[in-house]
Each structure stands twice: as structure tokens, then as C-alpha cells.
């Protein structure tokens, strides 16, 4: 693989269910990010990780959790999905916090 | 006031013309600025980064930064129909993980 991969590509989920969105990068980037993109609101940061073993909250963290067990993987978990979490989710990475970010292909999530 | 503001468009220009995209930001401490292009249904892809006042050119693209006026712009010369996309302005506040994106400007280049 080259770059960032995300899985699944899309998912329809019943409200109240637990869901984990997967993100893997092979660029050995230290920093990774999760965004959601909603029409008219642009990209909003959910959680980030500066390096393996550390995570931080972004602009809209409520209802989401992340972990960073190693450099390559940065899963995003919705513990109990709600319809307002219907969105397109993008994972991104960068070699350092101040530099440009590179985005994965996205996951389209629908919560009914 | 939004932290990063862009005109949502749509901005329509004829093929071969110059497309001018503008972005203003509210945090004077911002240090890093980026332009991304996003085709419909796709992920954002980086076009330009700019860190210092002035112009930065890369092929048909020129990014302009004016920190005193808190705006950053992107000029696309010799616009092509393939440039039709949404352009996202991103501002990294204080060079940390606090990257804020504008909602994007939709550009249409008509043949």
C-alpha cells in the first residue's frame, strides 16, 4: 500500500451500535488526524495523535474515541452511534504538526 | 465569525482565464497556510503550502499571503475544466495540531 487507507468505504449503521473506522498509513508519519466533513461546515477535527501512544481532542470530540498503539494505525470508535454522526470521515497524517496533512479516501457513514 | 472564511461560490470562469480564490482567517497567531483541492466524492489533496508573506508560485498556481490583513489567496492561471473542484483553505494555528479549514469555494471552469 502507498499513502493512507481507510475502511470501510461506506457503512450504514443503526443508532446505538458501536462502530470502528480504520485508518492505516505507510509513510511513517508521526502525526495522524480524524476529521468529519459536513456540507456547509467544512472539515472539522475530531481527534489527533502527535505520536504513537499519545492522543488529543480536536474541535468536535464528543461521542468519539481514538487510540494510537503504533505509528501506522489510528482507529476511530463511535461507542454508541447517533444520527448526527452521519458524515464523511477522513483520516489524515503529517510528518509533523506544523506541516501539510495528507488525506485518506474517506469513509461515508450513515447512522439511521 | 468563522475562524477561516471562504466565499462558497460557485465561482465560474471561462477556460484560459485566471481564477482567484480568497480566504480570510481570524487568529493572528496562525503560522502555516495551505490550499487543498477536493473533487466531488474524493478526498482533499494538497496544492500549495505557504508560510511567509508574499507570493509562492508552483506551475499554474500562485499562493499569496498577507499576515497583516489576515488573508491568503490562490490564483490559478490558464484555468482548465479539470480545475473544476472545491478549493479548501486551511490554517494551522500556532503550528500545532489545530488546523482549521474553510468550508471551501466551488470553482467551475467552463470550456
Please judge whether A45 and B99 are an interchain contact, meaning their C-beta atoms are less than 8 angstroms apart: yes
> Quick check: B108 contacting A, CB < 8 Å?
no
Three-state DSSP state, A36: strand
pLDDT confidence of residue B2: 73
A86: nearest Cα among A22, A13, A7:
A13
pLDDT confidence of residue B23: 96
Helix, strand, coil percentages for chain A (3-state, nearest 5): 5, 50, 50
- Whether the per-residue pLDDT at B94 is higher than 70: the answer is no
Asked if B105 and B5 touch (Cβ cutoff 8 Å), the reply is: no
The span from the CA of B61 to the CA of B47, in Å, is 8
Please judge whether A45 and B44 are an interchain contact, meaning their C-beta atoms are less than 8 angstroms apart: no
B2-17 mean pLDDT: 91
Binning pLDDT at 50, 70 and 90, where does residue B95 land? low
pLDDT confidence of residue A100: 86
Q: State yes or no: cis peptide before B47, omega within 30 of 0.
A: no
B71-75 mean pLDDT: 97
Asked if A18 and A111 touch (Cβ cutoff 8 Å), the reply is: no
H helix intervals, B1-111: none
- How buried is B17 (Cβ within 10 angstroms: 0-12 exposed, 13-18 middle, 19+ buried)? middle
Q: Could you report the per-residue pLDDT of A13-36, keeping only the tens digit for each?
A: 999 999 999 999 999 999 999 999
Q: Could you report the per-residue pLDDT of A32-88, keeping only the tens digit for each?
A: 999 999 987 889 999 999 999 999 999 899 999 999 999 999 999 999 999 999 999
Residue for grid cell 489524515: A92
Task: Determine the residue among B63, B98, B99 to mutate to test chain A binding: the one whose Cβ has the most chain A Cβ atoms within 10 Å.
Answer: B99
The span from the CA of A110 to the CA of B3, in Å, is 28
| Residue B66: HSE in the Cβ half-sphere, 13 Å Cα cutoff | 9
Pick from A56, A98, A104: CB nearest B32: A98
Interface size A-B, in CB pairs within 8 Å, comes to 58
Amino acid at each position: 500500500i502507498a499513502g493512507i487507507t481507510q475502511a470501510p468505504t461506506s457503512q450504514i449503521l443503526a443508532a446505538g451500535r458501536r462502530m470502528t473506522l480504520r485508518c492505516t498509513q505507510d509513510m511513517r508519519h508521526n502525526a495522524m488526524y480524524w476529521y468529519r466533513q459536513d456540507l456547509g461546515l467544512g472539515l472539522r477535527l475530531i481527534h489527533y495523535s502527535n505520536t504513537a501512544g499519545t492522543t488529543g481532542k480536536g474541535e468536535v470530540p464528543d461521542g468519539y474515541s481514538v487510540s494510537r498503539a503504533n505509528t501506522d494505525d489510528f482507529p476511530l470508535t463511535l461507542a454508541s452511534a447517533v444520527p448526527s454522526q452521519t458524515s464523511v470521515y477522513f483520516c489524515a497524517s503529517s510528518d509533523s504538526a506544523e506541516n501539510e496533512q495528507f488525506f485518506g479516501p474517506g469513509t461515508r457513514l450513515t447512522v439511521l | 465569525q468563522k475562524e477561516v472564511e471562504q466565499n462558497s461560490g460557485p465561482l465560474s470562469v471561462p477556460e484560459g482565464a485566471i481564477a482567484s480564490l480568497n480566504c480570510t482567517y481570524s487568529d493572528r497567531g496562525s503560522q502555516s497556510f495551505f490550499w487543498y483541492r477536493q473533487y466531488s466524492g474524493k478526498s482533499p489533496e494538497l496544492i500549495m503550502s505557504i508560510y511567509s508573506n508574499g507570493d509562492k508560485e508552483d506551475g499554474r498556481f500562485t499562493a499569496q499571503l498577507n499576515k497583516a490583513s489576515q488573508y491568503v489567496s490562490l490564483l490559478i492561471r490558464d484555468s482548465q475544466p479539470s480545475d473544476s473542484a472545491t478549493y479548501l483553505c486551511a490554517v494551522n494555528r500556532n503550528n500545532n495540531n489545530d488546523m482549521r479549514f474553510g468550508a471551501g469555494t466551488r470553482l467551475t471552469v467552463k470550456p
